[in-house]
Structure 1
């Protein structure tokens, strides 16, 4: 069955790979970018395969209206939305300005909310649809230098957990995709605070993490084309995605899987250690 997809941040990386995967599978794709002219020039295959570029900045308060207009123009139905647009603000939280933090959350958290406000009325009316929120391995395990980026992705995780329960009565599925390290421009495009790095953080885990990210750029183990194919299969319940319908989270990458397993083990140890404390706080009977 042919579906209509709307993918934000389709101008590069995982967004581009996913747009191409959906188009090659015979679906209709509305690909969004802040500069669709530039995006079309850099990714001619999307239009060649029938994709439609849409100008969209997810930080704009008019995002929901733009989405509504785009879907209406495209025929009035939407089957899959992929909230992929995002970036990472990395460094010491002390060095980040209020404006830098606000922009991080406006893009990574409020952006998907604005998109959903435009999408969900269509999906509720249809009593069907799939919401794909792109999180990160940082959305489950916060690392040094990633306080605000991880914070934004943790917000997406919590939001998606609630949405999956809120939207179930309407036949709308929520999928939370958690990529590890994939070979895209994501690392190269991270934003550092304009203030730089406070000297006290030199030689600490914050600086070490920043150096590791810069050194890793271009040698990430993950293949975004394969990641896009796995997402497509989970959305359509085919291939390796068959039988995953009842599950919310889709971790991608062996690095992500191992990182999550360590986090689960740490959480279990923490929970076990705190059991007596947790159970000691009720009123005496």
Structure 2
């Protein structure tokens, strides 16, 4: 297929950087964003070394997003694929989070993508085509202890994506939600704990257990990030192993752990529905 123009946020590391390099190697045009070119010098060099472009963008700074998207559009005349990858995970017990860190988690993981989506849609509508790829997580379907705020931000992104997919379909624009499980990127090493730390009531229990599991899993994740970005690329372009899924799915789960957790979630929801079915069906107004 013809070369696409990709705009990828959070291209400084992890799946964002890997996807940028993969798309460039396939002959596509890529504009990646990083928050700081000095701190992300290696990523900038890698992307630009393959012919890509890098712009500075902090998605939490609302007044800069529109201008940065316009700058990106001016480079190649359009954006075909927006990949909202910028994000991070804040861990801790829900009771222990303060207002500032709670807001920042949503500013980055939810409002950041919302801003870039609003900024790219006029151009995509004018072109009559485009794809918005929102990188969520299995935590956006199945939230575990310690991941309350992170999971909530991804649940919100998935809800936004569901509605968005229906709103923009008439314009020839599609939406894809990517739900990775555990992949061997820097994601776990970049986890942030809440400022207060784990308060005494949660020192022994599911939150502590979850945090210990995250620590033990760092560097031992079974997921291959190169395979993950290959599958994302294929679903976007309609090429390769997963190409047949293009336009047929809203959600792309990635990783055996993701599939297992998603199946558990679906069984739980189905079980709740069946248990409450009669109660739910008996709530209409009864005509006199």
Task: Report what 2:270 is aligned to.
Answer: 268
Task: Report what 2:125 is aligned to.
Answer: 124
SS at match of 1:284: coil
Asked if 1 retains the 8 angstrom alpha-carbon contact of 2:11 and 2:43, the reply is no
Task: Report what 1:246 is aligned to.
Answer: 248
Asked if 2 retains the 8 angstrom alpha-carbon contact of 1:67 and 1:115, the reply is no
Asked if 1 retains the 8 angstrom alpha-carbon contact of 2:17 and 2:43, the reply is no
**Does residue 1:141 correspond to 2:142, yes or no?**
yes
Equivalent pairs counted in the alignment come to 285
Task: Report what 1:180 is aligned to.
Answer: 181
Q: CA deviation at 1:40?
A: 3.4
Asked if 1 retains the 8 angstrom alpha-carbon contact of 2:44 and 2:54, the reply is no
Q: CA deviation at 1:55?
A: 0.4
For the aligned residues, what is the CA RMSD? Answer: 1.1
Asked if 2 retains the 8 angstrom alpha-carbon contact of 1:67 and 1:118, the reply is no
Q: Distance in 2 between matches of 1:250 and 1:201?
A: 34
Runs of 4+ in 1 over 6 A off after TM superposition: none
Task: Report what 2:70 is aligned to.
Answer: 69
Q: CA deviation at 1:43?
A: 5.2
Task: Report what 1:159 is aligned to.
Answer: 160
Matches within 5 A, 1:1-285: 1-42=2-43, 44-244=45-245, 245-285=247-287
Q: CA deviation at 1:265?
A: 1.0
Q: Distance in 2 between matches of 1:102 and 1:169?
A: 33
Q: Distance in 2 between matches of 1:68 and 1:206?
A: 39
Q: Distance in 2 between matches of 1:88 and 1:7?
A: 19
TM-score of the two chains, using structure 2 as the length reference: 0.96
Q: Distance in 2 between matches of 1:105 and 1:216?
A: 25
Query: C-alpha offsets along residues 90-142 of structure 1, whole Å, 9 cap, x if unaligned?
Result: 00111111000000000000000111122111101101000000000000001
SS at match of 1:5: strand
Gapped regions of structure 1 (runs ≥ 5): none
Query: Are residues 239 and 42 of structure 1, via their aligned partners in 2, closer, same or farther at CA, if it must alter by over 3 Å?
Result: closer
Asked if 1 retains the 8 angstrom alpha-carbon contact of 2:110 and 2:154, the reply is yes
Asked if 2 retains the 8 angstrom alpha-carbon contact of 1:133 and 1:176, the reply is yes
Gapped regions of structure 2 (runs ≥ 5): none
Q: Distance in 2 between matches of 1:252 and 1:72?
A: 30
Instruction: Name which of structure 1's ranges 129-138 and 117-126 shifts more when overlaid on structure 2.
Output: 117-126
Asked if 1 retains the 8 angstrom alpha-carbon contact of 2:165 and 2:174, the reply is yes
Q: CA deviation at 1:254?
A: 0.5
Query: C-alpha offsets along residues 226-254 of structure 1, whole Å, 9 cap, x if unaligned?
Result: 10000000000111223212210000001
Query: C-alpha offsets along residues 39-95 of structure 1, whole Å, 9 cap, x if unaligned?
Result: 233453211110101000000012332333322430321100100000011001111
TM-score of the two chains, using structure 1 as the length reference: 0.97
Asked if 2 retains the 8 angstrom alpha-carbon contact of 1:80 and 1:130, the reply is yes
Instruction: Name which of structure 1's ranges 236-245 and 164-173 shifts more when overlaid on structure 2.
Output: 236-245
